[in-house]
Amino acid sequence: MNKGPSKMTTSLNYIIYKPRQNITLNMIEAEKYEAALIVQQLVGNLIYYSNKGRYEPRLAEKWEILPNNSWAFTLKKNLKCETGEEITPKSFKQSLDRSIYIYSKLGGVPIMSNLIGYESFLKENADNKNIFELKSSAGIKYDDNHIIFEFDKKIKSGLLQILSFTPFGYICDKNFNADGSWKDDKVFISSGPYKVDKIAVGESYLISKNKYWADFTRSAPEQVLFTHDENQIDATQPTIIDAFTNDYDNIKLKKYKLVPEYINSILLGNLKNGYFSKLKSREYFRYLINKTSKEILPLEFGANTRSDSFYPNQDMYSVGSDEIPAVEKPISNLIIEGSIPLEGTSRWHAWLVLKNVLEKNNLTYAFAKNEALFAEITNRNYDIRIRGSSIGGGVEAWGLYVEFCTAMGINFPDPSGRVCNALKDYEDDKINDAQLTERFFKYIKEDSAILPISHYGVSLFLSEHIDLSSISPLISIMRLDQISLEP
């Protein structure tokens, strides 16, 4: 451990421990956890999930629900990107139109697809080659002070959550090429509290306060250095370690556990043409995974708690089974997305179980060794994916829609299509909350394509210079402009 000077600086070292892939600043990658830690400091959203563990206004002053299925957000005044680009209701609408257009081409836009005129917007812009010349979305309107969302039905849940996602914050126009591609994976023109100073992808990311941002908490850090370098760990300086591990118990930093909102699972894919297209193959594989997990993993390991259920507190329709199903052996290699996980990570523990199952049962396999792009991580065409994903604490329609039915989530397998159909029925008021919950658990058990290994949460390790009253165990992504550094 390095020994630095005793005097505290206004800079913060933020160590992202053993990231699962190199972090880029591309908006499309920004919902992956490690990327979100950085990128969400760079974007101004109308609404955000604050360090207090609740949704609050961000660039909006307030919001209200209007008659006729409409929501109005009052925008703050004198907002600007780091380049001086003005953020107005009109330009915010244009930013939202761009994101809706881009994500519609990637597989769907949760909640926003219920805007009045959504289908017409897509049809009218189907041949558009320039995102700066989009024909306007009819469902988003504006006046001098407001951005107004008009939906074709009552929105039960999810709008605030979706508006807190990076793509639906204000994305300054200089980030894009005309065709909608991101200009530079090492650059993010900021509309948020911090701006990028210098990055070396895979090594370090230096950000500093954006001069146009007015809402910093008392003694928020002037600069933040994100790094994977454990030599930066210094208890005498403002330091945060962000880790899915307990490895730092012996270091003089305070351990601060967050709510276990993540599932670590083995996902079965290639469901049209591959070995797992047959339900009997999936059922047998599920049996082997559950049996092996119980044999080789303790109940608690690192930040993980072993589980065979989708949610930590799930007490019905457990996906586990002691019954031995019939099986057909595969006739060709099973292809696993990515590369061998890093030792000690949650995915590595899932790999220990998977490797044991494959090799003991003479099932041949190979890793795809593909690039860790979001489009690949969410690709259902691989036979097997080992993934960790934030799912919250219980059945919530909008969150399941993101994770199962759009390219914005992890793209959980839905072999029968019944999960997405049930979510549609829920939004159309054909079933209620209890019926959705019952159907969801029933379908994922019967489809046998999601094989849970554990549940876990992030452990933060904090130097004494972090004011604990400025954070909450309910936070998802730390808002650095909201934390306070103490001498």
Q: What is the 3-state secondary structure (H, E, C) of 37-54?
A: HHHCCCCECCEEECCCCC
Q: Say what the pLDDT of residue 317 is.
A: 44
The pair of structure tokens assigned to 295 is 């044999």
Instruction: List strand residue ranges (DSSP E) for 362-426, in order.
Output: 365-367, 384-390
State residue 414's pLDDT score. 97
Helix (H, G, I), strand (E, B) or coil at 283: helix
Tens digit of each residue's pLDDT (9 = 90 or more) over 82-115: 999 999 999 999 999 999 999 888 777 888 988 9
pLDDT of residue 322: 58
Low-confidence ranges of the chain (pLDDT < 70): 1-9, 20, 244-251, 314-323, 327-331, 372-374
CA 154, 159, 161, 167 dihedral sign is: positive
Of 458, 455, 476, the closest CA to residue 350 belongs to 455
Handedness of CA 81, 86, 89, 91 (dihedral sign): negative
pLDDT of residue 20: 66
pLDDT tens column, 6-38: 444 689 999 987 776 788 899 887 777 888 999
Decide the pairing of beta strands 365-367 and 334-336.
parallel
What distance in Å separates the CA atoms of residue 416 and residue 249, rounded to the nearest whole number?
Answer: 44
Give the whole-angstrom CA distance, residue 192 versus residue 187.
14
